[in-house]
Amino acid sequence: MKTLRWGLAGASDIAATRMIPAMRRIGHQITGVSSATEGHAAEYAQQHDIAYYTSTFDQLVAREDVDAVYVSSINRLHYSQTLRAAAVGKHVLCEKPVALNLADAWSMVRACEEAGVVFGVNHHLPCSDTHREIRRLVAGGAVGQPLGVRVFHAVQLPERLATWRLTDPAAGAGVPLDITVHDAAVLNGLLGQPVDAVALGTRQGHWDAAVDDAIMTVIRYAGDVLAQTHDAFTVRFAGTGLEVHGTEGSIVARDVMTQDPVGSVLLRDSSGERDLDIPDRRDLYEVALEEFACAVQEKGQPAVTGIDGVRALAVALAVQEAAGAGARVPVVTEPVARS
Ligand code: NDP
């Protein structure tokens, strides 16, 4: 397994809580961190024992001891930072949503292809062993023809994260780009081609949000399979889940739309009900990093490729537009050019 030397673009919470620990557990190195605010970068570097910090992103990515850049800045910076990293030959693992619009997102895919660098998107759920088991079951016909999927992903946004996600639409705020996009990364992998979406969102939290903080959605996939999602920043006690209902059986997975390697998967069919054994419970972010490192060695693909990330974004943007317009909106998965 190749050990990567990472440059962190963005002094973020997700890097601090999940990615830096995961990188270190699997023996990767962290060369430096860049943040728009010099003081924040310095404090963050000290807190996380990172030797180099800068407020100039280009200085970080130009370093010879950076093999790959982990982009976890606010959403509106993902596009420009990915392009600049690719331009100097650095591999990119970018946080979701990959970008704020499809034209930017496809440009990122093309730029990385042209530069010959690996481009992955850090959707953690497809890295989960529970989700991988569900995908195996569905692909192997355990539920017959899928008819409907229900996603329960309404959670409570921790107070420490109740900032730009709620207040700054230009930064990429809102539930569709934060949570529905994760659902889409799972649903696209399970069901294939998304067709169109309807949605209704609202503001129900205690904060003064500039965007909807709760949304219910129906997405239609090819073959008239319906997927229903409940995504929210406002629900404390629901727990998460994923259900796949088909002509021959149902999968009921509980506590699986999470960042931790937990949760149960039950299969119900004409022979009864059984809890499935999930022998591996690997950390989702370690899996993402390991598979990314394999891709750098040309021994596979990132767990979620750039194109997978764009397709997830396409669903989230259709949902966002559907909620705004009160109309059914097509999901556009074909490449879009920047005008
Ligand atoms: P944060 O709010 O922690 O950080 C986002 C940016 O805000 C930072 O990069 C930083 O900008 C700025 N910032 C944060 N705190 C301070 C501060 N005290 N002073 C100055 N600037 C500050 O974001 P998250 O970690 O929640 O999200 C980052 C990205 O990761 C997003 O794209 C999000 O969608 C994604 N994400 C992915 C998850 C997953 O499981 N895959 C889970 C959570 C988030 P600067 O870069 O300039 O330092």
pLDDT in tens, 80-137: 999 999 999 999 999 999 999 999 999 999 999 999 999 999 999 999 999 999 999 9
Nearest CA to ligand 1 atom 16: 40
Q: Phi, psi at residue 145, to the nearest 5°? A: -80, 120
Probe residue for ligand 1, chosen from 47, 74, 155 as the CB with the greatest number of ligand atoms within 8 Å:
74
Q: Check if 72 has its Cβ closer than 6 Å to any atom of ligand 1.
A: yes
Nearest CA to ligand 1 atom 31: 74
pLDDT of residue 1: 57
Nearest CA to ligand 1 atom 14: 12
Nearest CA to ligand 1 atom 38: 14
Q: Given the CA of residue 14, which atom of ligand 1 is nearest to it?
A: 25
Task: Extract the tokens encoding 230.
Answer: 């409940």
Give yes or no for residue 153 having a pLDDT over 70.
Answer: yes
Q: Is residue 81 within 8 Å of 57, Cβ to Cβ?
A: yes
- HEC-encoded secondary structure of the chain: CCCCEEEEECCCHHHHHHHHHHHHHCCCEEEEEECCCHHHHHHHHHHCCCCEEECCHHHHHHCCCCCEEEECCCHHHHHHHHHHHHHCCCEEEECCCCCCCHHHHHHHHHHHHHHCCCEEECCCHHHCHHHHHHHHHHHCCCCCCEEEEEEEEECECCHHHCCHHHHCHHHCCCHHHHHHHHHHHHHHHHHCCEEEEEEEEECCCCCCCCCCCEEEEEEEECCCEEEEEEEECECCCCCCEEEEEECCEEEEEECCCCCCCCCEEEEEECCEEEECCCCCCCCHHHHHHHHHHHHHCCCCCCCCEHHHHHHHHHHHHHHHHHHHHCCCEECCCCCCCCC
Q: Check if 10 has its Cβ closer than 6 Å to any atom of ligand 1.
A: yes
By CB atoms closer than 10 A (0-12, 13-18, 19+), residue 55 is middle
Q: Check if 76 has its Cβ closer than 6 Å to any atom of ligand 1.
A: no
CA of 92 to the centre of ligand 1 (A): 17
Q: Check if 74 has its Cβ closer than 6 Å to any atom of ligand 1.
A: yes
What is the pLDDT confidence band of residue 338, given thresholds at 50, 70 and 90? Answer: confident
Q: Check if 161 has its Cβ closer than 6 Å to any atom of ligand 1.
A: yes
pLDDT of residue 243: 98
- Of 95, 49, 46, the C-alpha closest to 70 is 95
- HEC-encoded secondary structure of 86-120: HHCCCEEEECCCCCCCHHHHHHHHHHHHHHCCCEE
Q: Check if 132 has its Cβ closer than 6 Å to any atom of ligand 1.
A: no
Nearest CA to ligand 1 atom 23: 12
pLDDT of residue 2: 75
Q: Check if 259 has its Cβ closer than 6 Å to any atom of ligand 1.
A: yes
Q: Phi, psi at residue 26, to the nearest 5°? A: -100, 10
Q: What is the pLDDT of residues 218-245, one digit of tens each?
A: 999 999 999 999 999 999 999 999 999 9
Q: What is the pLDDT of residues 154-168, one digit of tens each?
A: 999 999 999 999 999
Residue 198 pairs in a beta bridge with: 218
| Residues above pLDDT 70, as percent of the chain | 100
Q: Phi, psi at residue 217, to the nearest 5°? A: -140, 150
Q: Given the CA of residue 35, which atom of ligand 1 is nearest to it?
A: 48
Task: Extract the tokens encoding 104.
Answer: 């930017």
Q: Is residue 35 within 8 Å of 47, Cβ to Cβ?
A: no
Cα separation, 120 vs 112, in Å, equals: 10
Q: Is residue 265 within 8 Å of 273, Cβ to Cβ?
A: no
Q: Locate tokens 């996939």: which residue?
A: 221
Q: Check if 264 has its Cβ closer than 6 Å to any atom of ligand 1.
A: no
Nearest CA to ligand 1 atom 30: 72
- Of 143, 140, 141, 83, the C-alpha closest to 117 is 83
Q: What is the pLDDT of residues 14-62, one digit of tens each?
A: 999 999 999 999 999 999 999 999 899 999 999 999 999 999 999 999 9
Cα separation, 234 vs 213, in Å, equals: 7
Cα separation, 334 vs 311, in Å, equals: 9
Give yes or no for residue 10 having a pLDDT over 90.
Answer: yes
pLDDT of residue 339: 78
Q: Check if 35 has its Cβ closer than 6 Å to any atom of ligand 1.
A: yes
CA of 164 to the centre of ligand 1 (A): 9
- HEC-encoded secondary structure of 123-139: CCHHHCHHHHHHHHHHH
Looking at residue 83, its amino acid is: L
Q: Check if 14 has its Cβ closer than 6 Å to any atom of ligand 1.
A: yes
Probe residue for ligand 1, chosen from 8, 13, 292 as the CB with the greatest number of ligand atoms within 8 Å:
13
Q: What is the pLDDT of residues 309-330, one digit of tens each?
A: 999 999 999 999 999 999 999 9
